[in-house]
Amino acid sequence: MKKDIFKSYIETVKPYEPGKPVKESERELGLRHVVKLASNENPLGPSRKALRAMRKALQEAHYYPESKCFYLVKRLVQELGVTEDQIIIGNGSNEIIELIARGFLKEGDQVLSSATSFLVYPILSQVCGADYVSVPMKDFRYDLRGLLGAVTEKTKVIFIANPNNPTGTYVSTSEVEDFLSKVPKDVLVCFDEAYFDFVDVPDFPHTLFHVKSGKPNVVVMRTFSKSYGLAGLRIGYAVGSPQVIGYLHKIRQPFNVNAIAQAGATAALDDRFFLWRTKHLVRWGRRYLYRRFDQLKLRYLPSQANFILVDCGVDAEEVFQALLRQGIIVRSMKSYGLNTWIRVTIGRRSQNALFYRALKHFLKKRVKVKGV
Ligand SMILES: Cc1ncc(COP(=O)(O)O)c(C=O)c1O
């Protein structure tokens, strides 16, 4: 191929490395049952109400889907108290991030976010030719003052994952208020709240309030992939000002969200019991694993999400491989420079216990070998 048809700023992009699907790992390891605690999915599966609605929707799969996700948008309007022209649905919230990048960024623009955050932000920003600047964290948390200090006239978009992936930490109401009062009005501030439903602290910011009160440069993104258990369907949404949302609608594909996902997500919003069970499981699981990590004398970060970052004190890749051999998939944090840390998704009770036992077994053996 002629070299000059490739864009140099795309050639240097490091592709996203997704967690391996369960079936692929089972095939490769020759195991019958693999426990995947690597991609922050919902271990309860999809809600029954969602499944029923999706089965019904399958019968109409010969039709194109609703282009603007009419029923889901109506349901979200009720749920969130915003207007229809303030919502856009995406093929996962990843697509919304992509629409924002495509819509607002060009070569030479600057995107700001934090170090040790969601890897899709740099990838999609760089693909549009923008410079991605990541501000160091403070105590494993987004440093909003640091972000403000890094703003230049080239800054177009700021991504704030709250709670953050992979740390599980959050920024508070007062920090966000202060930040929004100082950030230039022509910079788009995108709060990525993929893990919003797992939060249980009282000082978590009400970012939707800022959208409702008419701040034109605030966007809030959420997803059905985590608390609603629909990651495989790819569906998420953003809420923002009619001006920004209308602009994003112009650049999306006409049928960007499939009909099955629309039906599943709409029904999932009505499955209160499923959401309650999920939240309960995650909160219980967090407390369980904190206790276990304390017993193992491991440092971990208290989390507001459905995963925990833990320092195992030994090479993370080694921990990952050892757990994998026992059929448990977690995420090594080496690519973030956290060489001895892993991220583990909260699973069902039995899965959390399996993970704990496998980790304890490995660490005991490892320390013994080291001590010889
Ligand atoms: C911070 C954050 N934002 C967005 C997403 C992607 O969500 P979706 O599945 O809706 O594309 C994830 C998924 O891991 C995430 O961690």
In one letter, which amino acid is 125?
S
**Contacts of 150 by beta carbon, 8 Å cutoff, 6+ apart:** 112, 133, 135
Atom of ligand 1 nearest to the CA of 236: 10
In a mutational test of the pocket of ligand 1, which residue from 39, 119, 165 has the highest number of ligand atoms less than 8 Å from its CB?
165
Compute the Cα dihedral for 318, 322, 327, 328 and give only its sign: negative
Token readout for 155 is: 């800054």
Helices (H), the chain: 8-11, 22-29, 48-58, 70-80, 93-104, 120-127, 144-150, 173-182, 207-212, 242-251, 259-268, 272-295, 316-325, 349-371
> For residue 369, how many other CB atoms are within 10 A of its CB?
8
CB of 40 closer than 6 angstroms to any ligand 1 atom: yes
pLDDT tens, N- to C-terminus, the chain (372 residues): 767 889 989 998 988 888 778 888 888 888 888 999 999 999 999 999 999 999 999 999 999 999 999 999 999 999 999 999 999 999 999 999 999 999 999 999 999 999 999 999 999 999 999 999 999 999 999 999 999 999 999 999 999 999 999 999 999 999 999 999 999 999 999 999 999 999 999 999 999 999 999 999 999 999 999 999 999 999 999 999 999 999 999 999 999 999 999 999 999 999 999 999 999 999 999 999 999 999 999 999 999 999 999 999 999 999 999 999 999 999 999 999 999 999 999 999 999 999 999 999 999 988 766 654
Strand pairing category for 218-223 and 236-239: antiparallel
Are 92 and 124 spatial neighbours (Cβ–Cβ below 8 Å)? no
**Contacts of 361 by beta carbon, 8 Å cutoff, 6+ apart:** 326
**Contacts of 76 by beta carbon, 8 Å cutoff, 6+ apart:** 82, 87, 237, 269
Helix (H) or strand (E) holding 192: strand 188-192
| Closest C-alpha among 37, 38, 47, 8 to residue 274 | 47
Say whether pTM exceeds 0.75: yes
Helix (H) or strand (E) holding 344: strand 341-345
In a mutational test of the pocket of ligand 1, which residue from 226, 258, 309, 331 has the highest number of ligand atoms less than 8 Å from its CB?
226
Residue owning the nearest CA to atom 7 of ligand 1:
93
**Contacts of 261 by beta carbon, 8 Å cutoff, 6+ apart:** 91, 224, 230, 233, 234, 235
Q: Which domains does the chain have, with CATH numbers?
A: 3-45+272-367 (3.90.1150.10), 48-268 (3.40.640.10)
Are 341 and 168 spatial neighbours (Cβ–Cβ below 8 Å)? no
What is the per-residue pLDDT for 30? 84
CA of 95 to the centre of ligand 1 (A): 10
Are 130 and 154 spatial neighbours (Cβ–Cβ below 8 Å)? no
CB of 118 closer than 6 angstroms to any ligand 1 atom: yes
**Contacts of 228 by beta carbon, 8 Å cutoff, 6+ apart:** 42, 46, 47, 50, 265, 268, 269, 274, 275, 278
